[in-house]
Amino acid sequence: MAAEEKSLHFIEQIIEDSLASGFPQENLRFRFPPEPNGYLHIGHAKSICLNFGLGLKYNAPVNLRFDDTNPAKEEQEYVDAIKEDLLWLGFQWSEELYSSDYFQQLYDWAVAMIKNGKAYIDSQSSEAMAIQKGTPTQPGVDGPFRNRSVEENLTLFEGMKNGDFPEGSHVLRAKIDMASTNMLMRDPLMYRILHRHHHRTGNDWNIYPMYDYAHGESDYIEHISHSICTLEFVMHRELYDWFLDQIYPESSSQSNDVDKVRPHQYEFARLNLNYTVMSKRKLLQLVQENRVNGWDDPRMPTISGLRRRGYTAASIRKFCESIGVAKRENVIDVSLLDFCLREDLNKKAPRVMAVLDPIKLVITNYPEGKEEFLDAENNQEEEAAGFRKVPFSRELYIEREDFLEVAPAKFFRLSIGNEVRLKNAYIIKAEKVIKDSDGNSIEIHATYDTDSLSGSGSEASKRKVAGTLHWVAIKHAVEAEVRLYDRLFIDEAPDSHKEKNFLDFMNSNSLQTVKGFVEPSLATAIAGDHFQFQRLGYFTVDKDTTNSKLVFNKTVGLKDAWEEKGKKEENSLNNALKDINKYFKVATREERIAIRKAIGETLAGIANYSLLQNAFKKNINNNKTSLLFAQFILKYSSLKSADFDKEAVSKLYLMSLRSESTFVRSRALLNLRDLETNLDLVHSFRDEILKLQSNPSKSTTERESEFIEQVLNK
């Protein structure tokens, strides 16, 4: 029992405490409340799994309630997509509800609040209201319309409802406390005028409630016991409770009565995923600017995009379970999602053979016209998967990268004079290669060992060779379009850099389309079918597939190439920093130039923006090695001065110009000299450079003096 309690996450513990305090389990009720203004993404999946998971754990109903209070952004298309995503993930809601179901009740409660002196009509402009509201450190002040009479407020509110006023002319505000330390409590908006067509209520309404007002009241109407939100709503909880106070009976002796259940809001950390943007606004921008091919583009983090790419519902549920439910924000590595997917597909996906960059292989001693149908295991992880027959003949396709005419050491694939095994087939030896007029290899001639058939039990079949290659028989090969998808962004935090637009980090290689060939067993594959292309990765049949055209999406590789690349770049950066120490120790200028050149080449080859940014900031300190390294990042990396925080750049130059090391000072002067733009930065250090020029204690060298003159003359 103790071990069970330890495994509870904090939301479950809250519910357990509620039950222990006498709250009836039959009164537990949860909800998932999406706004239908876009497609759900992987971040929503965490909330979905949490809310519906609680429903399953406690045998409690979970409502699907669409927060449809802003007709300017909401569409039926989004409603339909959200429902499809939920069902695909494996969850079924208790009731399908809409905030718009409660428009009349919300209006009636607002009227009651006006009558009770708890709400008023404000006719200021939004700009004036923002000024009047104050700042986090300065209290707000009462606006000119705060003390309107109840009669005037009621008349204006009815006129707003009837469509008598233009958008922006009036709003209904709650009358709370303009001096509250919580700015959300400084008379927040309850209703605004919108002359827009609503996807459900048509043109019946000209005013629409704000989220903060509608959310808690809708929870109350639906008898929601635990209203679970993400952490950005922590400050909203006070307002959530205040609005409930206006409608919930003060004497709650009947609090166990289902009709009197008062909802309580609890917050958990939302999902933050690296190499991804989670903002619906930014995802919409990608769609509207045609930077992706719609909401279900397989590069998008939307659930529909992930589904089309080939992610399974089980892998997403497993991912959400793995990351847990926490109170503190953190960033999850997208590679964990890919790991969950590989783990799932490894058990489910049949193994097949496909060649994506083909080169022709002719087995010269294999009889012309002969065909064999060889046994191939469908999935070694699943015994019941059985075997299939694959055709084998004299002419095959293999991957171009699996052949080198002259191979280096540790090349365990095909080369002239060396042997490899063809998967499920024979051992072959390359004898010669035919090339075109440009010297490109176009055809490989090989011989095969007739007694080496895989699984035959012969001595030859047991012979160990360097490697095993996949292949497809040309005569039986089925042509397919293969879309090779990669991460949409090359930076781990694309929308976190205030000096850059997130679009600057889009991966130009996120989609490559190739013509490949697959074994004939895939000819009848249908959209959504998953396969492991042996040695290449997991692939899924795309919805664009027709009877005459097969289309596959690359879902994920067999290994995490990004993790390997990231480790390689991080190691390169660390090694470059170590080389800086040598720079100070070598005796000659020629040696320093060689070290500087090597470091420069390393830095120029690192594409990870965040890695370079973090290394830059980390090395702005009084250590001469660190300062020189930061200056080298400015000089040689793909980033420019404008990409860095201005204060950090200024601090670096100031510390470098004051350094005791002539190497550090010289590099700072050279970087300032070479600046083609931002001359203001150069001029801001003029006094510091003049001090350097006149300060003999710095042991200024002749070359450094020359650099000083060059900078001063810019």
Does the annotation list 149 as a binding residue? no
* 676 belongs to the catalytic site: no
Long-range contacts of 203-207 (CB under 8 A, 24+ apart): 204/103, 205/103, 205/161, 206/160, 206/161, 206/162, 206/163, 207/107, 207/160, 207/161, 207/172
Helices 76-89, 313-323: axis angle to 10 degrees equals 80
Phi-psi domain of 596 (left: phi exceeds 0; alpha: psi -120 through 50; beta: other): alpha
Does the annotation list 621 as a binding residue? no
d(CA 110, CA 191): 9
Does the annotation list 37 as a binding residue? yes
Catalytic residue among 31, 280, 342, 624: 280
Amino acid letter, 430 = A
Does the annotation list 41 as a binding residue? yes
Residue with tokens 């060992």: 449
Could you tell me which of 677, 683, 676 has the C-alpha nearest to residue 653? 683
Does the annotation list 307 as a binding residue? no
Q: Tokens representing 625?
A: 């090695």
Residue 419: helix, strand or coil by DSSP?
Answer: strand
**C-alpha dist (Å) from residue 207 to 113, 175, 210, 423:** 16, 19, 10, 68
**C-alpha dist (Å) from residue 667 to 534, 572, 652:** 51, 21, 11
* Measured CA angle at 644 (ends 640, 648), to 5 deg: 130
Q: Tokens representing 610?
A: 């965040």
End-to-end CA distance of the chain: 75
Element (H, E) at 601: helix 589-604
Does the annotation list 47 as a binding residue? yes
Strand partners, 549: 546
Does the annotation list 311 as a binding residue? no
Does the annotation list 35 as a binding residue? yes
d(CA 121, CA 123): 7
Catalytic residue among 12, 35, 75, 569: 35
Does the annotation list 279 as a binding residue? yes
Does the annotation list 230 as a binding residue? yes
What are the residues whose beta carbons fall under 8 Å from the beta carbon of 676, sequence distance 6 or more? none
d(CA 624, CA 598): 19
The alpha carbon of 159 is separated from its chain's Cα centroid by a whole number of angstroms, namely 45
Does the annotation list 178 as a binding residue? no
Residue with tokens 């002539």: 662
Amino acid letter, 349 = A
Q: Where are the beta strands (DSSP E) in 53-178?
A: 62-66, 96-98, 119-122, 171-174
Element (H, E) at 561: helix 561-585
d(CA 97, CA 104): 15
Tell me the H-state helices in 247-390: 280-288, 303-309, 313-323, 334-348
Does the annotation list 71 as a binding residue? no
Does the annotation list 42 as a binding residue? yes
Strands 372-377 and 441-448: unpaired
d(CA 274, CA 331): 6
* 443 belongs to the catalytic site: no
* 498 belongs to the catalytic site: no
Does the annotation list 46 as a binding residue? yes
Does the annotation list 538 as a binding residue? no
Residue 472: helix, strand or coil by DSSP?
Answer: strand
Does the annotation list 175 as a binding residue? no
d(CA 148, CA 120): 7
Phi-psi domain of 501 (left: phi exceeds 0; alpha: psi -120 through 50; beta: other): beta
Q: Are 26 and 58 in contact (CB under 8 A)?
A: no
Catalytic residue among 196, 270, 291, 500: 270
d(CA 505, CA 489): 5
d(CA 563, CA 27): 47
| Tally of CA atoms within 13 A in the half-sphere of 180 that contains its CB | 16
Does the annotation list 278 as a binding residue? yes
Does the annotation list 455 as a binding residue? no
Which residues does the annotation mark as catalytic? 35, 270, 280
Q: Residues forming the annotated binding site for L-glutamine?
A: 67, 211
Q: Residues forming the annotated binding site for ATP?
A: 35-37, 41-47, 230, 270-271, 278-280
Q: Residues forming the annotated binding site?
A: 35-37, 41-47, 67, 211, 230, 270-271, 278-280
